[in-house]
């Protein structure tokens, strides 16, 4: 099958790799333009472009798809199936309607739950026990298309964003390959999404601020859902930021007010509304990632300090 792949981040790159290893013909790879990164603001290709270039695949980086800007290239490539994974641009109808079979997308949730930009983080932050990848036929709405198949994965109690992301990469690759096989055999079917949908809004800085007045479960979910990016944070008594990369729930009970450092035995233990969270690994403002004990040994925090 002649496939056009459209995607940008690492999640998409792994899906591209899985498809590339099959016998299907990838006629082209579309990704976003290179972006300046780092202190030197060096133009850097997306993970998808880096993989495609290294493996001899044709790469296209249109600045816009509007007003038929990509139509001539589309006709030249003439794909039978377009696969879109976290591309980052809205696809106009002429692209959606072009391929013989469909324009399909791998979305990192069990649709219609968590349509939108941050489905993995939101699922963990909400305390969900499972999520998945939905392979759907794209339409002009935001993640509203008919679903072809779903691959579910578990969210274990201490899984963070990276853990769940990696599970979904595998599930997404399996789902896309299965969908390609269904289309090839003429067996693809489509199921409309239900009306009970939710949106996974883009993560903002306000989402990352830890509120220790919340339950222990909610605090733990927020920290792991935002690790390793963009990271939850709190503030030290001197006003400096303290990002939290790893934490776990304590079985010990302490008295004190919410946000109070109640112990420094085995980590930074902070009181929540109904329990205690242990900060295991942190990034102090202006510093690198460190074990909480190193921060404690440097006398940067004391029992009785109030965080937040």
At 149-195, the pLDDT tens digits run 999 999 999 999 999 999 999 999 999 999 999 999 999 999 999 88
Count of residues making up the chain: 308
CA 97 to chain CA mean position, Å: 27
- Residue 36: CATH number of its domain: 3.40.50.170
43, part of any domain: yes
Residues 49 and 65 placed together within one structural domain of the fold: yes
Instruction: Flag whether pLDDT at 299 surpasses 90.
Output: no
Residues 183 and 223 placed together within one structural domain of the fold: no
Our count of domains for the chain comes to: 2
**What pLDDT, on a 0 to 100 scale, did the predictor assign at position 125?**
98
Pairwise CA distance, residues 203 & 8, whole Å: 18
Residues 127 and 185 placed together within one structural domain of the fold: yes
* pLDDT (mean) for 23-36: 94
76-95 residue pLDDT tens? 999 999 999 999 888 999 99
* pLDDT (mean) for 246-269: 96
Residues 160 and 84 placed together within one structural domain of the fold: yes
Percentage of residues of the chain with pLDDT beyond 70: 100
* pLDDT (mean) for 202-228: 98
Question: Do residues 58 and 28 lie in contact, with contact meaning Cβ atoms separated by under 8 Å?
Answer: yes
Pairwise CA distance, residues 210 & 219, whole Å: 7
How many other CB atoms are found less than 10 A from the CB of residue 137? 18
Q: Could you write out the DSSP letters of every residue in 177-210?
A: HHHHHHHHTT----BPPPS---EEPPP-HHHHB-
Arithmetic mean of pLDDT over the chain: 96
Structural domain ending residue among the three candidates 200, 226, 253: 200
Residues 194 and 47 placed together within one structural domain of the fold: yes
**What pLDDT, on a 0 to 100 scale, did the predictor assign at position 40?**
85
Q: Write out the residue range of the structural domain in which residue 61 sits.
A: 2-200
Q: In terms of C-beta density within 10 A (0-12 exposed, 13-18 middle, 19 or more buried), how is residue 9 classed?
A: middle
Residues 270 and 177 placed together within one structural domain of the fold: no
Instruction: Flag whether pLDDT at 47 surpasses 90.
Output: yes
Residues 150 and 286 placed together within one structural domain of the fold: no
303, part of any domain: no
């Amino acid at each position: 099958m002649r496939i056009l792949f459209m995607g940008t981040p690492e999640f998409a790159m792994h899906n591209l790799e899985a498809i590339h290893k099959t016998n299907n013909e990838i006629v082209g790879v579309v990704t976003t333009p290179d972006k300046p990164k780092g202190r030197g603001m060096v133009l850097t290709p997306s993970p998808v472009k880096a993989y495609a270039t290294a493996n001899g695949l044709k790469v296209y980086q249109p600045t816009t798809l509007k007003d038929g800007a990509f139509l001539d290239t589309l006709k030249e490539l003439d794909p039978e199936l377009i696969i879109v994974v976290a591309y980052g641009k809205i696809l106009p109808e002429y692209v959606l309607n072009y391929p013989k079979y469909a324009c399909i997308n791998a979305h990192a949730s069990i649709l219609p739950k968590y349509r939108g930009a941050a489905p993995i983080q939101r699922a963990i932050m909400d305390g969900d026990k499972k999520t998945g990848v939905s392979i759907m036929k794209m339409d002009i709405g935001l993640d509203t298309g008919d679903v072809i198949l779903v691959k579910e994965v578990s969210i274990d109690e201490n899984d963070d964003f990276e853990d769940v992301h990696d599970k979904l990469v595998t599930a997404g690759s399996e789902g896309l390959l299965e969908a390609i096989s269904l289309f090839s055999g003429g067996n693809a079917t489509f199921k409309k999404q239900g009306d009970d949908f939710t949106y996974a809004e883009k993560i903002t800085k306000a989402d990352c601020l830890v509120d220790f007045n919340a339950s222990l479960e909610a605090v733990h979910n927020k920290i792991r859902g935002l690790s390793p990016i963009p990271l939850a944070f709190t503030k030290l008594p001197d006003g400096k930021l303290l990002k939290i990369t790893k934490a776990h729930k304590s079985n010990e009970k302490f008295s004190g007010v919410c946000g109070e450092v109640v112990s420094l035995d085995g980590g930074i233990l902070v009181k929540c509304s109904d329990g205690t969270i242990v900060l295991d690994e942190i990034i102090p403002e202006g510093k690198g990632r460190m074990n909480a004990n190193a921060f404690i040994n440097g006398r940067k925090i004391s029992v009785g300090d109030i965080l937040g």
